[in-house]
């Protein structure tokens, strides 16, 4: 799709009314086999004139579907030649094909097409044949890291504020949906709060959990005295289990619905020191 000015050119046969790519291709095959007995051949690109092609029994060349109408020059997003006599001079609104024809200073203009605003230099009519990287490459090839001539800077327009969205001038705020990020609960993990709720039947804050885990202040012990090492003892021999012995029992999960005896269990096995 090419978008010079405000006109859309659809480079696709899919715009044929009621026909898809596959339907058009199948119709070409059917017609070719019925007339020549062979698959369709590539369409010659010459001559360009439609009357001459009809006289030679050649199919018409593909033509893009044009949608839209050119707008005023103020909304075209065209380029300007910078540094010429008299400062800025308007450039003809045609796409530049030769990289040597690129101006020394490439001005950016916001592009509006059917209500959509395009803030990209590659959408401008003059530079639509070049990508951002190509424009930068050719500027560097000339030895210009920055524009050697003054360039008119057009500020970006701020989009309309959506309902419920933050202001465009303020950075968006992070919304952390985790209990451990809330004031009063930032000293413990969600798992600890969950275990405390199962044990006490209500939500507890970090301050309450700290009182339960450490009910009294830790008293520093007196100065440590070096004690003599314990006497050496011979370790008892380890008895190996006989072959075919049953494997050791697997550990029970922290939260299990029933104990090993099959009776329901209402409290977790691991309590983070809360009980």
Q: Which residues of the chain have pLDDT under 70?
A: 1-18, 63-93, 151-172, 216-268
User: Coil, strand, or helix at residue 241?
Assistant: coil
Q: Which two tokens stand for residue 82?
A: 């910078």
Q: Which two tokens stand for residue 221?
A: 């012990």
Burial of 19 (0-12, 13-18, 19+ CB in 10 A): middle
Query: In whole angstroms, what is the distance from residue 261 CA to residue 275 CA?
Result: 22
pLDDT of residue 85: 38
Reported pTM: 0.29
Distance of CA 58 to CAs 42, 44, 48, 53, 54, Å?
11, 8, 11, 5, 6
Closest CA to 78 of 97, 96, 66, 64: 96
pLDDT of residue 92: 39
Q: Which two tokens stand for residue 11?
A: 């480079």
Q: Which two tokens stand for residue 123?
A: 């959408």
CA of residue 124 relative to chain centroid, distance: 25
Q: Which two tokens stand for residue 149?
A: 């001539």
82 contacts 104 by C-beta, under 8 angstroms:
yes
Q: Which two tokens stand for residue 52?
A: 């001459």
User: Which contacts qualify for 190-194: CB closer than 8 Å, 24 or more apart?
Assistant: 191/272, 192/272, 192/274
pLDDT of residue 207: 92
**What does the angle CA 200 – CA 201 – CA 207 come to, to the nearest 5 degrees?**
55
């Amino acid at each position: 799709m090419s978008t010079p000015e405000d006109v859309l050119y659809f480079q696709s046969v899919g715009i044929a009314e009621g026909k898809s790519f596959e339907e058009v291709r199948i119709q070409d095959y059917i017609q070719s086999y019925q007339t020549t007995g062979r698959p369709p051949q590539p369409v010659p690109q010459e001559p360009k004139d439609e009357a001459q092609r009809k006289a030679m029994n050649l199919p018409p060349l593909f033509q893009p579907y044009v949608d839209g109408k050119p707008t005023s020059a103020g909304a075209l997003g065209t380029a300007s030649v910078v540094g010429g006599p008299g400062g800025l001079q308007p450039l003809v609104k045609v796409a530049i094909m030769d990289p040597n024809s690129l101006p020394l200073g490439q001005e950016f203009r916001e592009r509006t097409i059917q209500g959509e605003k395009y803030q990209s230099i590659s959408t401008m009519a003059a530079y639509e044949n070049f990508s951002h990287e190509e424009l930068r490459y050719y500027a560097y090839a000339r030895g210009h890291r920055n524009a050697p001539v003054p360039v008119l800077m057009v500020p970006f327009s701020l989009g309309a504020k959506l309902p419920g969205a933050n202001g465009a001038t303020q950075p968006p705020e992070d919304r952390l949906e985790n209990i451990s990020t809330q004031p009063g609960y930032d000293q413990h993990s969600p798992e600890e709060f969950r275990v405390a709720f199962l044990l006490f039947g209500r939500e507890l804050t970090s301050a309450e959990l700290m009182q339960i885990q450490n009910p009294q202040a830790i008293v520093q012990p007196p100065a440590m005295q070096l004690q003599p090492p314990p006497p050496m003892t011979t370790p008892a021999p380890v008895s190996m289990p006989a072959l075919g012995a049953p494997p050791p029992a697997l550990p029970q999960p922290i939260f299990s619905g029933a104990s090993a005896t099959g009776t329901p269990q209402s409290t977790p096995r691991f309590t983070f020191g809360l009980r």
